């Protein structure tokens, strides 16, 4: 990662949660040449780093209680945009959420490269009080032909279901936590 990307990423991390109510813009010179311009307005923060190696813009927003962020790197080969959100959307997965399960967390990520290539990844963490075997049976029916790995280590059982084409489907990990809670982690990736 070159110096301009490191500076942009550091700036992104500093302002990711500092969205302010009114618009404020500040520009700071970078030692060795270039500038960092930060604009904060209501629920959005934009940081642009410009230097000899190119330009990087990072935008973070807060909407409906969810954080969204994107970073665009403009270089000699074109633009690459990275975006992320902590919002979990069931439609991002090739299998449904387990019936009655509680959504504990997750995220969605996307990267669009200069040649128009896009890759996406979504994760969701669910919990239910149903036993592992019942959850495994549900997802085995939703992923026919999936590779199944079933292991028990130190008394904790973990079942992983990987679709035939993991780059275009949803992998499911199911395990039992203390207190009788079954945890389900869905990971979907594709282009």
**pLDDT of the residue at 107:** 83
106 occurs within a structural domain? no
Instruction: Tell me the pLDDT band of 190, cut-offs 50, 70 and 90.
Output: confident
CA atoms within 13 A on the CB side of 126: 25
138 occurs within a structural domain? yes
Query: By the 8 A CB rule, do 80 and 70 touch?
Result: no
Q: What is the DSSP letter of 65?
A: T
- Check whether 160 has a pLDDT greater than 70: yes
Query: By the 8 A CB rule, do 176 and 133 touch?
Result: no
pLDDT digits (tens, 9 = 90+) for 98-151: 999 999 988 888 877 777 777 888 889 999 999 999 999 999 999 988 999 999
6 occurs within a structural domain? yes
104 occurs within a structural domain? no
Domain boundary among 48, 69, 90: 69
43 occurs within a structural domain? yes
Query: By the 8 A CB rule, do 95 and 170 touch?
Result: yes
84 occurs within a structural domain? no
85 occurs within a structural domain? no
Q: 65 and 1 share a domain? A: yes
Query: By the 8 A CB rule, do 43 and 19 touch?
Result: yes
List CB contacts of 132: < 8 A, sequence separation 6 or more: 157, 159, 174, 175, 176, 182
DSSP symbols for 3-18: HHHHHHHHHHHHHTT-
Domain boundary among 69, 84, 113: 69
Model-wide pTM > 0.75: no
Range of 61's domain?
A: 1-69
81 occurs within a structural domain? no
Q: How many structural domains does the chain have?
A: 2
**pLDDT of the residue at 66:** 67
């Amino acid at each position: 990662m070159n110096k301009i990307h490191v500076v942009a990423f550091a700036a992104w991390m500093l302002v990711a949660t500092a969205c302010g109510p009114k618009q404020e813009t500040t520009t700071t010179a970078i030692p060795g040449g270039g500038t960092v311009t930060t604009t904060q307005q209501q629920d959005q923060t934009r940081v642009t780093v410009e230097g000899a190696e190119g330009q990087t813009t990072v935008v973070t927003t807060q909407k409906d209680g969810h954080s969204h962020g994107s970073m665009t790197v403009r270089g000699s080969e074109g633009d690459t945009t990275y975006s992320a959100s902590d919002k979990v959307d069931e439609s991002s997965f090739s299998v449904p959420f387990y019936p009655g399960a509680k959504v504990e967390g997750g995220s969605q990520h996307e990267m669009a490269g200069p040649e128009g290539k896009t890759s996406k990844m979504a994760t969701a963490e669910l919990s239910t009080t149903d036993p592992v075997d019942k959850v495994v049976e549900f997802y085995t029916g939703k992923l026919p032909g999936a590779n199944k790995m079933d292991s028990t280590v130190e008394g904790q059982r973990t079942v992983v279901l990987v679709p035939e084409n993991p780059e275009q489907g949803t992998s499911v990990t199911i395990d039992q936590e203390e207190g009788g809670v079954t945890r389900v982690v869905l990971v979907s990736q594709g282009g």
